[in-house]
A and B are shown apart, each in its own frame.
Chain A
Amino acid sequence: MSELNNENAVLIIGGGHSGVSAALEITEAVDKKVYIVEKKSYIGGRVLQMYKYFPKLCPPFCGFEINTKRIKSSAEGNINFLVSSSVEEITKAKEGSGYKVKIKQKPQYINDNCTVCGECAKVCPEERPNDFNYGMDNTKAIFMPAISSFPLKYSVDDKYCKFSACKKCEEACRYSAINLDAKENIIELTVSDIIFATGWKPYEVEKLENLGYGKYKNVITNVKMERLAAENGPTGGKILRPSDGKEVKNVAFIQCAGSRNENHLPYCSAICCMASLKQAMYLREKNPESSPVIFYIDLRTPGRYENFLNKAQSDEKIKFNKGIVGKISEDRETGDLLLDVEDMLSGKKNKVRAEMVVLAAGMASNIKDDLKEIKIDEEIKIDIDENGFIFNDNFKEGIFSAGVARFPLDVYMSGQSATSAALSVIQHNAKL
């Protein structure tokens, strides 16, 4: 190829599957530095909280292991991570093209000396709700964030750590890996390109008042279901309902919880049908007595995912009900839920009892909220649509998107978009 302009790095905002994929695809093709800015203390993103991926029902850690190996074997200095960090400011670089970026990194209480020996957590007296498990259990205030964190080290939750009033962990650490007096860092970079790989969050289903999330304990979200099913989750992989820890059999899945609704998310979140089918299937596998029922508007399993739907439909115990759930109420004595449902195929209105309800919460793009926190030069054009997606790249300015920042995409298509964004970066820097 012709020469590449590589004096400036690429900024990738978000260290989830899309951001990491984009970083790897760029650096394995050309000699260019990338910086991944990730809010959490580890990379890998939301997918690591999945129990299994559809349609293969395989764990996300398998692909992540390959990606971490790719990172470890990459040319030194080409892939850089700023974890626990957020972008504060983006301005146009004065000379030439590109951007000056100011990044704030939260205090790094744990340094690279950490061997994950675990002595610190043993002596830590404080507990915190475990955000990896959506608060369904606790960890110590000094903790390993995921089962196999990358970078492989502990993390401190500054909301729960007592710092100088305690310091027990610092004393217990034999490797001088902990410094509770660490200060935040400001890092300034000049970059040629920016990839938004800011991902998504589950839609705030509390806003769907009729469905009772937040009011009734046994109404949960699809993302929580993933943690309940995971062996490394709060229940050791047993699907137990929150109110009484009972192993559930009769579970109702409610599709389009927020999605395809002009008052909430006007678009289809694209993944929820496959996710609920997957959850119904693993529920059946874990508990052969179980009988899930899926309430849907349309079953959207595009392409070869159709055979995943066929597989679910071939299980007689998985029921499908085309219809909208009007209202959910709770049977206070049992903790069960009562659903007012319209069965659109028979035209009948039914009352359905379920031991637990899983709301297929849609994907809300993070970008709009994230941009509120960043000071950006007005002349920098980021073409965000009304739903918070950057589908239109700004090629001239080197602003690209990958994953759910781009469109409601599943993991597979996110990888595709990240690979495509990597090419955009190379093109933008090619000296033709």
Chain B
Amino acid sequence: MDNNLGIYICSGCDIGKSLNVERLINTAKDSGKPLVCVSHEFLCGPEGINLIKNDISEKKINKLVIAACSMRAKQDVFNFDQFTIHTERVNLREHVIWISPPNDNNTQLLAEDYINMGASRAKKAAFPEPLVQDLNKTVLVVGGGVTGLNASVNAAKAGYDVVLVEKKPNLGGFPFSKYKKWETKPPFDKNTWIREGLDELISEAEKSNKIKIYKNSKIKSISGAPGKFNVEIESAEGNSGSEPVKEIAGSIVAATGWKPYDAKKLDNLGYGLTPDILTNVELEELYSELSDNGKSENFALKRKSDGKPVKSVLFVQCAGSRDENHLPYCSTVCCMSSLKEAALIRKNNPDANVYIIYKDMRTMGEYENFYRKMQDDEGIFMVKGVVSGVSFDKSGNTIGVKVKDTLFGGDIDINTEMVVLATGMVPNSGEIELKDNAATLNVGEVQPASGASCPPSVPVSTAQVPKSGLLNLSYRQGKEMPDLIYGFPDSNFICFPYESRRTGIYPAGSVRMPLDTVFSVDDAKGAVLKAIQCIEQTSKGRAVHPRSNDTTYPFFDLPRCTQCKRCTEECPFGAIDEDEKGTPQYNPERCRRCGICMGACPVRIISFKNYSPDIIGSMIKSIYVPEDPTDENYRILVFACENDAYPALDILGLNKMNLSSNIRVIPVRCLGSINNVWYADALSKGIDGILLLGCKYGDDYQCHFTKGSELASYRMGNLKETLTRLVLEEERVRQVQLEYTDYMKLPEIVEDFVNKVKSLGPNPYKGF
């Protein structure tokens, strides 16, 4: 590859007034040996752009160094074909002249270093070669309930083939056997026959020539990657010895739904004392039975115990939900579903009183209409309080309920003929595999992580409890989607609800978060969009979120691999499997291009075309480190996360705040992509300190690669050994968690670190 370097220095926006541009050109020429090195007073203007374009066509410049403003500004004009021209942006404006005193030697040195660093990177960078492939575009939908059916029908409607796998003999899922749901359309103040729409949906799916349905079937295994998932399906209908059916899929929507919380654990609420203490699900089943599966509209609700129409029913809300001993979360649907049941009882048993014992009534949005209507019914009593005891009087066949903490302070006793426990939803996200016995736990029961095998290089907090039984992925990192919390494999990103840690696999509906049928429909559609988007992007060789459209991906120089397994363990997206020897088997279609594997590799065999240990190493090596140990000659290397810390530095510049000119910033894809060799490169060269600016980690982590910043911090442990070996203080390296809007704190953060390093004295390796 020709390396025809062109360095273009903009003197506009006061760059020319603050820096000696002629000196910049001379130093750049000396160190970078460019084919062209010029300045222009308005580089982003038409004349400046033409200047660059002419050099590209006439002088065959293919490595551009644009020393002007931030890479975040004017990207639309400094926009050249990425496959034939490398564009390296050097930030002389936001990161130099806007934060440093003008016409000052230290400011000048800062600018010179940045240009040299940019030139080094441009020279080493190769052009991306996107992995364009012909891929399978079928969407596999796991689960044939409301969400799965909607996902299937909607994917077909968008023109995609679908394979739908349902473990039960019939489609329709949970509501199939139930009675009524609440209205799905504004103003949400009616009850609707639950099968309304569902029967049509089932028949639409069954009739579609784009949807292939496997009922009574389970996924035996899924291997491969987006665009080439190999799916093995086991059918209970076939002969027991028959081979699993094989299908190929491009992406997956996991709509495995929920199960009701086990009421047997709610003996404090009297479950089991009499058949008239039942769950909300059992009440629905009773209704279904009494109505002859919905054929009859006019019938009374009768007690299971004696078959007599009920005169009073008491609903216990949050039976298990919002309770740290059971389900710590709110199941979201139970308030509306109890109100719906109350309405049905009042319609069919007009003499009956209905009590609803609640903590907070949660009828969000326009569902409030339904709640208001129920409040107007004088036979419905809403009682805020906590049920403290349930007793059963056998002789009178009545149930006594004690309620405490009611409004106005008093405790009350209510006698009723029937009690309905509004039990919550437990996500169906796989069974927990216990290491040493055959038993499995329900997911709602939170299993301590100690039973899990924690790979040694992964911080304990990010280790997953092993689960199986639904997708049965043959991934090195586990068979199911990683949970976010409480067994829900949800996204942790407020802005990106479909962020998935298993590329091409999107959970939808109530497995992802407690959702009712109304919102599960929207959710199914959203997940289908992401599923087809993943196939389309992947086949064009482009990454999906968060580095959407990135065409680079890492290369593994496997002959040099030492099988240490760090990359396979640390990849947040489970993109890397391994063979029996422990050699990584990289799946580019699962990859999100964060570079965490590159950061993990102790022998540096992983690199991107334009981002590698060698490329960043050469940037570090091009920093001029003065030998004279004066205050202004201290050199601090800053690795800044591209997404948050780097923009924060830009905004600091926009606000023209001062920052120490001792620092040299290198943007990184993620702090997790920092390879420990860079610390060695910097410190052995005499750089006095290294500061990592990256995202917050922990429960509310903000790293868009989920654990990059945490891994960077974790790897500091290994780094300390290196420092000790070099007889350097460990305080010379510091990681700070920074949010985008923390830009005002940056001067203090940097100053504090610079002072700390100064107190340690200069790096003794200077001048070696």
Contact = CB atoms under 8 A, between A and B. Distances in A.
B330 A387 contact: no
A386 interface: yes
A73 B497 contact: no
Interface string B151-184: 0001001111000000000000000000000000
Contacts of A152: 72-73
Contacts of A62: 495, 643-644, 695, 702, 704, 739-740
Given A61-B740, A232-B741, A386-B187, A409 B529 contact: no
B42 A420 contact: no
Interface stretch (A7-15, A52-60, A181-189, A332-340): A52-60
A66 B322 contact: no
The size class of the interface chain A forms with chain B is: 35 or more
B200 to A, nearest CB: 15
B754 to A, nearest CB: 22
Given A65-B647, A408-B366, A423-B528, A302 B533 contact: no
Contacts of A422: 529
Interface in A305-360: 305-307, 310, 322, 344-347
A347 B154 CA distance: 52
Interface string A123-161: 000000000000000000000100110001000000000
A58 to B, nearest CB: 5
Contact of A420 (B157, B328, B360, B529): B529
A162 to B, nearest CB: 26
10 contacts: A24-B548, A63-B493, A65-B644, A113-B44, A115-B69, A148-B651, A307-B328, A310-B328, A419-B530, A426-B159
Given A56-B700, A346-B408, A347-B409, A304 B485 contact: yes
A292 B488 CA distance: 32
Nearest to A2: B159
B495 A147 contact: no
Interface in B121-143: 137
B364 interface: yes
B400 to A, nearest CB: 24
Contact of A266 (B368, B486, B532, B533): B368
A35 interface: no
A268 B365 contact: yes
B549 A70 contact: yes
B75 interface: yes
B766 to A, nearest CB: 37
Interface string B359-374: 0111111111100100
A109 interface: no
A74 interface: yes
Interface of B: 12-14, 42, 44-45, 69, 72-77, 137, 154, 157-160, 185-187, 322, 324, 328-332, 360-369, 372, 384, 405, 407-409, 485-486, 488, 490, 492-498, 513-514, 519, 522-523, 525-526, 528-530, 532-533, 536-537, 544-546, 548-550, 643-644, 647, 650-651, 654, 656, 695-696, 700, 702, 704, 739-744
Interface of A: 1-2, 4, 17, 21, 24-25, 28-30, 51, 53-67, 69-70, 72-74, 112-113, 115-118, 144, 147-148, 152, 174-175, 230-232, 236-237, 260, 262, 266-270, 298-307, 310, 322, 344-347, 385-387, 389, 391-392, 407-409, 411-413, 415-417, 419-420, 422-424, 426-427, 430-432
Given A407-B366, A419-B498, A423-B528, A113 B523 contact: no
Contact of A115 (B44, B363, B364, B742): B44
A299 B318 CA distance: 14
Nearest to B156: A432
A419 B523 CA distance: 9
Given A56-B700, A268-B367, A427-B157, A412 B494 contact: yes
Closest 9 CB pairs of A and B: A63-B495, A419-B526, A29-B533, A385-B186, A420-B525, A298-B360, A423-B529, A347-B408, A1-B159
Given A65-B647, A148-B651, A270-B364, A416 B497 contact: yes
A409 B597 CA distance: 38
Given A2-B159, A56-B494, A72-B75, A174 B137 contact: no
B369 A302 contact: no
Contacts of A387: 186, 366
Contacts of B324: 310
B522 A417 contact: yes
Contacts of A305: 330
**Residue among B405, B533, B537, B702 facing the most chain A CB atoms (10 A cut-off):** B533
A1 B369 CA distance: 42
A24 B530 CA distance: 11
A159 B738 CA distance: 38
A415 B497 contact: yes
A391 B522 CA distance: 11
Contacts of A347: 407-409
Contacts of A25: 529-530, 533
B334 to A, nearest CB: 10
A392 B529 contact: no
